[in-house]
Structure 1
Amino acid sequence: MTFVQLIDCKTSRFDEMDRLMDTWVEQTRGKRTATHAVVGKDRSDASHFIEIVEFPSYEEAMRNSNLPETDKVFRELVALCDEMPTFTDLDVVRDEQLYAATARRFFETVGMRGELPPLDGLMAEEYRDHNPANEQDTVGMDAMRRDVGMWRSGFDFAFSVDDQIEQGDRVCNRWTWRGTHRGDFMGLPATGKQVTMTGMTIFRCREDGKIVEAWWEYDLLGLMEQLGALDALEQ
């Protein structure tokens, strides 16, 4: 179970504390078990700081605490505080990456059978799409619906999201696409073939969670080969 520790402190010497934490990061390289750390400053009290440190488990956090470098830094940190810092230990019972969830809903939505559902709950009106299959970027939700429509008219398909990494306002998605060629696609009449394609998409989201930009990379050449489109070129 993921474990989080909150370190609550007051200090008028934050710059020194910040440098101290940089030293700890360098000295514990390859040994520390912390996976993520965030420091926040109280907007109503410039001397009040809270550090949030994430670990894979409570046991890993204890291993981290027992490092000699951690003990040394802790004693130096206390000396920089105006008062004794407090610690709150938390077992994480819910961890939801909201932008990643939006990305998953997008892939699920565009693969739905029947009429394409509205995308305005997922995408911004000014959405910009960077796609190597297009000579120019696709700009706007209506243009994106036309692009998606081209794929939906050519295939019955679905995405499976194999990996996601969320950082800041971006979500990187590694996916597998599986489809059946049911209609015309890029000049190729329906073949009925079942095809597979892999790719990656990076979404940029804004504060309300809607997708505002995307970068696509996928094996279009491999898809066309599965459809037999390259056979004529080789003859």
Structure 2
Amino acid sequence: MKFVQIIDYKTERSDDMNRLMDRWAEQTKGKRTATHNIIGKDRSQADHYVEIVEFPSHEEAMKNSHLPETDRIFQEMVALCDGMPSFTDLDVVRDEQLNAATAGRFFHEVAAGGNLDIVDELFAADYRDHDVLKEEDTAVGTDVIRSDVTGWRDAFDFRFDLDKQVSEGDDVVTLWTWTGMHKGDFMGIAPTGKRCTMTGTTVFRFQDGMIQEGWWHMDALGLMRQLGALG
């Protein structure tokens, strides 16, 4: 589950604080586990700041806290503040923007990029897949993603253009255009070397920040015509 820490503090030494944060980022490069960091200034109180730090999980946040560099920087941060900063720890139970970004990572990094190592980072272990190209209505588990991506990448060099994304509640709907060059066997069709395009829509349902279920709809007939399989 994604995790967010909110740090609330007051300081009249914002420039020194910024230099301190830059130094911490440099010292922890390659070791820190935070994925995103935002600092906001209170419009009605000039010395009041709120820092929001995102982590993949509470466990990863704890790893970050236990870095020796983090402990040293915290002591210096306290010295720059007017009083002790306050901390609020939050488990992220819903983040529509984050879900859309996760869906985008699948299309660009996993499908087109071939990075199968992050499949378990994006998809729930009991992920349920619904694909119009398959005889079975539902396939379960992350191996179905690895198998599908491998099969498509063996048959085509391709990319995805994400034409539109809509996030609502736990669902992310992606309208995409796929462009590929046919280089390997695909559904019994020998390589043609043809460049093809196909449009489709994917709906991902998220749970606790992971892709729990997916529905795939695509212009498969149009693709087969372009490959010369249909008259």
Alignment TM class, shorter chain as reference: 0.5 to 0.7
State yes or no: 1:110 paired with 2:114. Answer: no
Q: In structure 2, do the counterparts of structure 1 residues 210 and 226 end up closer, same or farther at CA, with 3 Å as the change threshold?
A: same
SS of equivalent to 1:229: coil
Letter in 2 for 1:124: A
Structure 1 segments, 4+ long, off by >6 Å, are none
Aligned-residue identity in percent: 54
Match of 2:196 in 1: 195
State yes or no: 1:139 paired with 2:140. Answer: yes
For the 8 Å contact 1:109–1:117, the answer to whether it is kept is: no
Match of 2:149 in 1: 148
State yes or no: 1:128 paired with 2:160. Answer: no
Query: Shift of the alpha carbon at 1:135?
Result: 1.3
Query: What is the number of residues matched between the two proteins?
Result: 136
Query: Shift of the alpha carbon at 1:158?
Result: 0.9
Match of 1:183 in 2: 184
Q: In structure 2, do the counterparts of structure 1 residues 135 and 228 end up closer, same or farther at CA, with 3 Å as the change threshold?
A: same
Unaligned 5+ segments in structure 1 are 1-94
SS of equivalent to 2:118: coil
Letter in 1 for 2:163: D
For the 8 Å contact 1:138–1:144, the answer to whether it is kept is: no
- Provide the C-alpha distance between the structure 2 equivalents of 1:110 and 1:173, rounded to a whole number of angstroms: 15
SS of equivalent to 2:152: helix
Q: In structure 2, do the counterparts of structure 1 residues 114 and 206 end up closer, same or farther at CA, with 3 Å as the change threshold?
A: closer
- Provide the C-alpha distance between the structure 1 equivalents of 2:171 and 2:113, rounded to a whole number of angstroms: 28
Query: Shift of the alpha carbon at 1:206?
Result: 0.9
SS of equivalent to 2:203: strand
Q: In structure 2, do the counterparts of structure 1 residues 111 and 143 end up closer, same or farther at CA, with 3 Å as the change threshold?
A: closer
- Provide the C-alpha distance between the structure 2 equivalents of 1:165 and 1:225, rounded to a whole number of angstroms: 30
For the 8 Å contact 1:124–1:141, the answer to whether it is kept is: yes
Letter in 1 for 2:108: E
Q: Deviations over 1:135-159 (max 9, x none)?
A: 1112100122112211111001111
Letter in 2 for 1:177: W
Match of 1:168 in 2: 169
Letter in 1 for 2:156: F
Q: In structure 2, do the counterparts of structure 1 residues 112 and 211 end up closer, same or farther at CA, with 3 Å as the change threshold?
A: same
Q: In structure 2, do the counterparts of structure 1 residues 96 and 147 end up closer, same or farther at CA, with 3 Å as the change threshold?
A: closer
Unaligned 5+ segments in structure 2 are 1-94
Letter in 2 for 1:143: V
Letter in 2 for 1:165: V
For the 8 Å contact 2:162–2:174, the answer to whether it is kept is: yes
Q: Deviations over 1:57-110 (max 9, x none)?
A: xxxxxxxxxxxxxxxxxxxxxxxxxxxxxxxxxxxxxx9811000010010123
Query: Which structure: larger Rg?
Result: 1
TM-score after normalising by structure 1? 0.55
Q: In structure 2, do the counterparts of structure 1 residues 112 and 201 end up closer, same or farther at CA, with 3 Å as the change threshold?
A: closer
For the 8 Å contact 2:112–2:159, the answer to whether it is kept is: yes
SS of equivalent to 1:164: strand
SS of equivalent to 1:146: helix
